Amino acid sequence: MKYSTPRIVQAQGYRSLRWILILVLMCGMAALGFFANRFQENLNSQEIREVIKYQKDRIDELERDRAASAEKIAVLESSSQIDQEAVRQVREELKSYQQERLQLDEELIFLRSMVSAKDDREGVQIQRFSLKKGSAEGEFQYRFTVTQSVNNGEIASGWAFLAVDGLQDGEPAWLPLRELTKEKTERIKVRFKQFQDIEGVIQLPDSFKPLKVIVEVKPGGKDQPDVKQRFDWVVKG
């Protein structure tokens, strides 16, 4: 490919790469969304293995795209006249690839553990709880996964509850989900066969210091006991 001037390289090559990256990311996330929806109810162990294969293929594809993006950055930076904003934007898109790759790796490890390990646990379990900073001051994004044994053929349904323990103006306080959400949400519906990802946003009062997060799941089945876990308030990212 010939580069008549650095400006032409930036205008043509960068734009083409940008649109290709966006399209690939959109396709990848759409496919992930499709599989995520199937997780909620009737996913069996064979289908989980198919998802694992898809995610491995997607990881390989991301690695190829990442290498192409890195090569493009090297070409752009080789010209002293190139617009540094173009380099910055390509770097941001490369970062998106890397973030998706990390997420896929995490999901892959989780899925493999479900189909490969002998699971003698009974009832619903709460796993992979995490917290991230939100877009506003005092806003946080939470996420956790509810699971049950792959060998359990019954659909688990019921409700999940979340609360935060901490200090309000220096005094012990307990805030339920309805006091942490704009919608005054009381509880979260759960329904799944193997597992379900649950996520949302909470807003803490200015004078509140969080210490623990309490997550409780109450399945509707008679033979499925309630489960409650406490997690340290640890914010990542």
Flag whether the pTM goes above 0.75: no
Q: Where are the domains of the chain?
A: 6-116, 125-232
Structure tokens at 216: 């409780």
Whether the pLDDT of residue 132 is over 90: the answer is: yes
Whether the pLDDT of residue 3 is over 50: the answer is: no
**CATH number for the domain running over 125-232:** 2.60.40.10
Average confidence (pLDDT) over 60-77 = 75
- At 168-201, the pLDDT tens digits run 988 999 999 999 999 999 999 999 888 899 999 9
More reliable by pLDDT, 8 or 132:
132
Query: pLDDT band for position 41 (50/70/90)?
Result: very low
153 contacts 201 by C-beta, under 8 angstroms: no
Query: pLDDT band for position 165 (50/70/90)?
Result: very high
pLDDT of residue 15: 47
134 contacts 141 by C-beta, under 8 angstroms: yes
Q: What are phi and psi of 205, to 5 degrees?
A: -65, 155
- Alpha-carbon span 101 to 96, nearest angstrom: 9
More reliable by pLDDT, 213 or 128:
213
Summary mean pLDDT of the chain? 76
pLDDT of residue 140: 97
